[in-house]
Structure 1
C-alpha cells in the first residue's frame, strides 16, 4: 500500500458522515487516535488554515497537506531550541560573539569578523544580528 492509499484509508475512516470532507471535530478525533493532542480550537484553526475552498472543512487534498505538514510545529520547536543555544546571552538575537562562542563549543574556531560575515548573509533587516525569523531562513 502506498502513502496515498494509506492517507485515503485514514481519511475515509474519520469522515464519519461520508461527505468527502473532514470537520474540525473529525480532525480532532483523528489526531487523538494516533496519539496526539489537539483541542477543538486548534483543530478549527488547522482547518481554517488548510481549507482550500473556504467551506470550513478539509477535502482529501487539504487533509494530505495537514498530515504532511503536521511536523511543522515540531520543526519550529526544534529550531527554537537551537536558536536559544546560539543566542545564549538573552538578547533574543544571535550576535557575532554568541555565534563564535557556540561554534567554538562545536569545535569550529572562527574569528569575530568571520562570524559577522556569516550573520550578514542571513541578516534580512541589516541590524548585524540574527533574530529567530532570520535564523529559520538560515536553517532551511
Structure 2
C-alpha cells in the first residue's frame, strides 16, 4: 500500500462524519480513542496551526502536512499566526482575557479564572501571560 493511501485511510478514520475534513472535535475524539486527553482549546489551536484555508478544519492535505511534518520556517509562521489569533491586537502576549475572548469565539465558555489556570501551566516567567516563546512550548506539548 502506497504511503498516501495509508494517510487517506487514517484520515477517513478520523473524519467520523465523512465530510472530508477533520474538525477539532473529531481530533479530540481521535486522541481519546488512543487513550489521550486533549482539551477543546488544544484541539482548536492544533487545527488552527495547520489549517491552510482558514475554515477551522483540516483537509487531507493539511493532515498529510501534520503527519509528514512541515518545514521549520512554515511551522514558525503557522505558530505565529495561531499566536496572533489569541493575542490582543498589537500585543506581544496572550492574556487571560484575550484567551477567554478567543475561546468564546470558538464556542468554548471559560471563565477568566479558568484561562488564568490554563496560562499558568506554561507561564515560565510567572508574569501571568503567555509570550510567543511560552506559546511555542505549549503547542509542542
TM-score after normalising by structure 1: 0.50
More contact order relative to length (CA 8 Å, sep ≥ 6): 2
TM-score after normalising by structure 2: 0.50
Based on CA coordinates, which of the two structures has the bigger radius of gyration? 1
